[in-house]
C-alpha cells in the first residue's frame, strides 16, 4: 500500500515553504526526491498541483484545494494520535484560523480571546475580521462565524444563537429630526440601507392591530456594506438604521442608540452559526473553540 499520508506531508511542507529545496532540508531529503514524490502524487491524481520555476513554487487552483484539505487531514491524524496516546483525552493545540464579520468580531470574538488562550495556551489563534464571505477551503479558514441564512450546504454548522432585527437612531438625531411614530413616518427621514442586493427591498413591519406584514420603502443619503458601518453612522447621528441587535446592544445599553418603532417590529430572527469544513470528527482545537463560543452564547 502506498504511503499517501507521507506524500501529503511532503506536498504540504513544500507548498508552505514554496520550495522543494527548503522542504528537502526540513525532511532530510534531496530536492529531487521531494520533486519525485510530488510528481508521483500528481500522476496518481491525474492533475497538476504545482507550477515549477527556478525560484518559487506556485500552486495551481487544484493544488490550493489539495493543500487545504491535506492540511486538515494531517491535523486530524495528529489529533487522533494524541487522543489515543493520551488515554482518550487530547488538549487543543496548533494553529486555528477564525473568520468573523467586523461587527461581530469586535463585539464578541476579540473580548473573549484572552480567556480562550488562558484556557488553551497551546493553540495559536489567527483571527481575521471581514464583512466579505470567505471560501473556507481556499482561504484555509478553520471556523467562520456567519449570521443569516446558510448558503453553502457543503459546510458543517453549529448554531450559536440568534439575534432579532432592530430599528435604531441616536438621541441627537431624534432631537433634531423628530421621532417616527409609524413606519410611514420614515419617508421623511434619512434611512441608512445596505449597499448590496437583498432578497427583499424595504424594511418589514407588522401592523400591531391586524398582524399584517408589510414592506415599507426607505431611502436616504447613506448606504453601507455592513451592520457595523450602519451602526457607526447611527451613533454619529446621521440617520436611522435597521441591523441585527447584536451590532448595537452595547450602544442601546449605554444610551448612545435608541430602538424605535418597536410596536411594529416583525420579530424577524437571524441565526448565528459557526461553520466549518469537515465532518463530525473535528480536530480537537476546532471543537474546543466552537464549544467555547456556544457556552458563552
CATH number, domain containing residue 65:
1.10.10.10
Burial class (CB in 10 A: 0-12, 13-18, 19+), 293: buried
Contact of 206 with 265, CB cutoff 8 Å: yes
- CA end-to-end distance (rounded Å), the chain: 47
Domain co-membership, 21 together with 146: no
What pLDDT shows up at residue 85? 53
Cα 128 to the chain's mean position, in Å?
A: 8
Domain co-membership, 24 together with 73: yes
3-class SS of residue 95: strand
Domain co-membership, 107 together with 146: yes
Domain co-membership, 125 together with 247: no
Of 85, 104, 127, the one marking the end of a domain is 85
What pLDDT shows up at residue 87? 46
Average pLDDT, consecutive stretches of 10 residues, N- to C-terminus, the chain (297 residues): 76 85 85 87 88 76 86 76 57 88 88 94 92 80 86 79 92 96 95 77 89 91 90 96 91 96 90 80 83 87
Domain co-membership, 237 together with 209: yes
Diameter of the chain measured on Cα atoms? 79
What pLDDT shows up at residue 232? 94
What pLDDT shows up at residue 1? 41
C-alpha cell belonging to residue 245? 441587535
Rounded alpha-carbon distances, angstroms, from residue 116 to 122, 127, 138, 246, 291: 11, 13, 26, 21, 11
What pLDDT shows up at residue 292? 93
Domain containing residue 286: CATH number: 3.40.190.10
Nearest to 7 by CA among 32, 28, 31, 36: 36
Of 85, 115, 143, the one marking the end of a domain is 85
DSSP E strands, the chain: 50-51, 58-59, 94-100, 123-129, 143-147, 156-169, 191-194, 203-206, 213-216, 223-224, 240-244, 258-260, 269-276
Domain co-membership, 215 together with 266: yes
What pLDDT shows up at residue 51? 85
Nearest to 234 by CA among 171, 292, 293, 286: 171
Domain co-membership, 280 together with 261: no
What pLDDT shows up at residue 56? 73
Domain co-membership, 143 together with 282: yes
Domain co-membership, 151 together with 179: no
C-alpha cell belonging to residue 55? 525560484
pTM: 0.64
What pLDDT shows up at residue 61? 86
Contact of 207 with 223, CB cutoff 8 Å: no
Distance between CA atoms of residues 32 and 266, nearest Å: 66
In what helix (H) or strand (E) does residue 177 lie, and over which residues does it extend? Answer: helix 171-177
Distance between CA atoms of residues 176 and 191, nearest Å: 15
Domain co-membership, 173 together with 263: yes
Burial class (CB in 10 A: 0-12, 13-18, 19+), 211: exposed
Domain span at residue 25 reads 4-85
C-alpha cell belonging to residue 163? 439575534
C-alpha cell belonging to residue 204? 418589514
Distance between CA atoms of residues 63 and 51, nearest Å: 9
Domain co-membership, 134 together with 279: yes
What pLDDT shows up at residue 148? 77
How many CA atoms, within 13 angstroms, populate the side-chain half-sphere of residue 157? 17
Domain co-membership, 191 together with 238: yes
Domains in the chain, number: 3
Amino acid at each position: 500500500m502506498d504511503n499517501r499520508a507521507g506524500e501529503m506531508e511532503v506536498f504540504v511542507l513544500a507548498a508552505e515553504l514554496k520550495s522543494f529545496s527548503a522542504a528537502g532540508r526540513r525532511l532530510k531529503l534531496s530536492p529531487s526526491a521531494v520533486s519525485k514524490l510530488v510528481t508521483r502524487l500528481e500522476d496518481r491524481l491525474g492533475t497538476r498541483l504545482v507550477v515549477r520555476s527556478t525560484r518559487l513554487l506556485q500552486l495551481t487552483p487544484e493544488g490550493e484545494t489539495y493543500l487545504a484539505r491535506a492540511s486538515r487531514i494531517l491535523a486530524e491524524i495528529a489529533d487522533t494520535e494524541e487522543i489515543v496516546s493520551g488515554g482518550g483525552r487530547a488538549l487543543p493545540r496548533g494553529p486555528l484560523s477564525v473568520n468573523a464579520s467586523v461587527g461581530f468580531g469586535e463585539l464578541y470574538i476579540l473580548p473573549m480571546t484572552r480567556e480562550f488562550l488562558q484556557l488553551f495556551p497551546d493553540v495559536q489563534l489567527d483571527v481575521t475580521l471581514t464583512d466579505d464571505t470567505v471560501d473556507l477551503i481556499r482561504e484555509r479558514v478553520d471556523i467562520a462565524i456567519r449570521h443569516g441564512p446558510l448558503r453553502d450546504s457543503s459546510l458543517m454548522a453549529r448554531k450559536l444563537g440568534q439575534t432579532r432585527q432592530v430599528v435604531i437612531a441616536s438621541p441627537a438625531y431624534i432631537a433634531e429630526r423628530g421621532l417616527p411614530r409609524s413606519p410611514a413616518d420614515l419617508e421623511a427621514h434619512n434611512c441608512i440601507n445596505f449597499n448590496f442586493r437583498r432578497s427583499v427591498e424595504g424594511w418589514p413591519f407588522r401592523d400591531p392591530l391586524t398582524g399584517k406584514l408589510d414592506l415599507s420603502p426607505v431611502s436616504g443619503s447613506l448606504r453601507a456594506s455592513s451592520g457595523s458601518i450602519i451602526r457607526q453612522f447611527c451613533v454619529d447621528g446621521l440617520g436611522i438604521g435597521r441591523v441585527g441587535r447584536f451590532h448595537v446592544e452595547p450602544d442601546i445599553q449605554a444610551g448612545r442608540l435608541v430602538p424605535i418603532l418597536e410596536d411594529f417590529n416583525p420579530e424577524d430572527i437571524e441565526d448565528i452559526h459557526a461553520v466549518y469544513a469537515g465532518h463530525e470528527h473535528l480536530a480537537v482545537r476546532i471543537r474546543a473553540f466552537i464549544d467555547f463560543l456556544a457556552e458563552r452564547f
